[in-house]
Amino acid sequence: MTTFNDRERAEEAKFAMDENTAFRIAARRNRLLGEWAAQLMNLTPEETEAYKKAVVQADFEEAGDEDVIRKVLGDLIQAGCDVDEATVRAQLAEKSVEARRQLMSES
């Protein structure tokens, strides 16, 4: 019975670690996406920092990535940038790969 309990605890620990890693990757991805969008909008360094935080916060509105895409796309359009949803989605995917690479290199 001890072996089963040990395996169960190990699986729970692995799940928790995987969830933590996924959260950290998503948060970093969102910061990177915010930085990209801030450059397009010609924000100052201070505004860029605030905007990156706002993009990360937007991810807590609903499950999935739609809230982040909606925020960034809306802000870019409002700022007069010539971008479409496909561009934002492509950048989100690119920043996801970059975020994972950065996090794994830190470990």
Domain count, the chain: 1
Range of the domain at 95: 2-106
- Residue 28's contacts (CB-CB under 8 Å, 6 or more residues apart) are 99, 102, 103
Task: Confirm if 25 and 100 have CB atoms less than 8 A apart.
Answer: yes
- Please give the Cα distance from 71 to 25 (Å, whole number): 19
Q: Say what the pTM is.
A: 0.84
- Say what the pLDDT of residue 44 is: 96
The CATH number of the domain where 7 resides is what?
Answer: 1.10.790.20
Task: Confirm if 40 and 55 have CB atoms less than 8 A apart.
Answer: no
Whether residue 62 is predicted with pLDDT greater than 80 in this model: the reply is yes
**Among residues 83, 88, 78, which one has the least CA distance to residue 33?**
88
DSSP state of 79: T
Encode pLDDT of 13-59 as tens digits. Answer: 776 776 788 889 999 999 999 999 999 999 999 999 999 999 999 98
Amino acid letter at 49? E
